[in-house]
Amino acid sequence: MIQNRNLIVFDFETSGLDPKDGAEVVQIAAKAINAWDFSDHHAGELCLLIKPQNPDKASARAIEVIGPIWPEAMKNGLEPTVAWSKFMDFTRSVNDTKTNSGKPIMAGWNTDFDVRFRDFTTAQLNLVKNRDDAPWGFPLDVMMLSWSLFESDNAVQNLKLDTIANLLGLKRSTNTHDAMEDVRITTKILQRELKFLRKCKERMRVASSPIY
């Protein structure tokens, strides 16, 4: 049953745009949500810094965006295999049924970017050999969910996280990006949107006339 799937809101901070060019994930953040009412799951949150293995290939712009995270990751970050194993263990802990059909939905803002880094890195580290081996379920892009709700709103000029967050009275604490703060903001947006959609579903009725 689809109701068995809890959610994990996740976000990465990276040293560039493409893992094939040597860009790396330097911060992992995740937060678990219950499927039944979208409340916080008992697994809580996870936040990890990862020591860059190829700092010479980092983008100057990416380092500027993540600010103090970069030197902290360089100094105190975990080895990649350790960090990604912890992330996978956290993901498994959110699968309450311990079955393939209960693998958590992975929600994020513009998930294509993060999923690309996740899949590339875990394969490279030989932690995930195939889809069945992975502990996560399908992705849910909160950015596209927001588009479906706000596409006719003239106040929304773009689909940046900060734009939707500001519209809902949410904002980040600094100008630099931090994955954990982005996860918490995205979680609040997602919880509001899912609860709204659940209420809408209660009012929906299937049209009796055929759809062409």
Per residue in 90-115, pLDDT tens?
Answer: 999 999 999 999 999 999 999 999 99
Nearest to 137 by CA among 107, 104, 96: 104
> pLDDT tens-digit profile of 33-79?
999 999 999 999 999 999 999 999 999 999 999 999 999 999 999 99
Which residues are CB-contacts of 19 (< 8 A; sequence separation ≥ 6)? 116, 117, 120, 121
pLDDT band, very low/low/confident/very high, at 146 (cuts 50, 70, 90): very high
Domains in the chain, CATH or no CATH each: 2-198 (3.30.420.10)
Provide the 3-class DSSP secondary structure of residue 10: strand
Nearest to 40 by CA among 198, 191, 144: 191
pTM: 0.92
Nearest to 198 by CA among 40, 35, 42, 44: 35
